[in-house]
């Protein structure tokens, strides 16, 4: 849906581009999707889709992870455009892997201001096997034939 939102905003006088990182790199994933500007006012836009039955659930639908090169690089308004999508089912066509294609139809949309949104903070520690099995950590190393 991002290309359609970008095209609409551009057609209505907004400077619109995919959001880039602080280093100026384009990233297809991660928050936010678009960087929009009008009259010098910067706006980050996240584009989402949802099924009507999931609209009011607690299913996680938004996350922002710390990064050394984030796509949020200036003070700006933060908006989300959520499209309610209806699945009409299989449409009789196949994709290039011979899988059935489905018809998804937008039924409406909601625009929300993310300022002051309540969020959960998930602290996470992670590592890898190299660091986990460093020589000075090994208490026992037994091989079984």
Which DSSP letter does residue 121 get?
Answer: -
The whole domain housing 100 covers 2-119
Predicted local distance difference test score (pLDDT) of residue 10: 96
CB 103 within 8 A of CB 88: yes
pTM here?
A: 0.77
The Cα 34–Cα 9 span in angstroms is 10
pLDDT of residue 114: 92
DSSP 99: P
Query: Is the residue at 100 inside a domain?
Result: yes
Determine, yes or no, domain membership for 126: no
Asked if residue 140 belongs to a domain, the reply is: no
Distance of alpha carbon 40 from alpha carbon 27, whole angstroms: 23
Residue 53 domain-assigned? Answer: yes
pLDDT at 80: 93
Residues of the chain with pLDDT under 70: none
Angstrom distances, CA of residue 8 to CA of 1, 3, 15, 36, 58:
11, 9, 11, 12, 30
The answer to whether position 139 is within a domain reads no
What's the rounded Cα separation, in Å, for the pair 79 and 95?
Answer: 33
CA distance 45 to 35: 6
Alpha-carbon Rg for the chain in angstroms? 21
- CATH number of 39's domain: 3.40.1350
Task: Determine the pLDDT at residue 4.
Answer: 94
Instruction: Establish if 135 belongs to a structural domain.
Output: no
| Number of structural domains found in the chain | 1
Question: Considering the domain boundaries, does residue 43 fall inside one?
Answer: yes
Given this model, what pLDDT does residue 72 score? 92
pLDDT of residue 48: 92
């Amino acid at each position: 849906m991002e290309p359609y939102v970008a095209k609409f905003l551009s057609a209505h006088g907004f400077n619109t581009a995919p959001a880039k990182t602080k280093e100026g790199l384009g990233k297809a994933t991660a928050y936010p999707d678009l960087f929009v500007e009008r009259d010098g006012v910067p706006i980050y836009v996240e584009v989402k889709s949802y099924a009507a039955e999931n609209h009011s659930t607690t299913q996680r639908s938004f996350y922002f992870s710390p990064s050394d090169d984030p796509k949020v690089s200036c003070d700006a308004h933060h908006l989300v455009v959520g499209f309610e999508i209806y699945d009409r089912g299989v449409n009789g066509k196949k994709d290039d892997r011979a899988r059935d294609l489905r018809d998804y139809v937008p039924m409406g949309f909601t625009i929300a201001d993310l300022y002051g949104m309540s969020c959960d903070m998930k602290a996470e520690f992670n590592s890898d096997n190299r660091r986990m099995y460093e020589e000075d950590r090994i208490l026992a190393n037994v091989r079984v034939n």
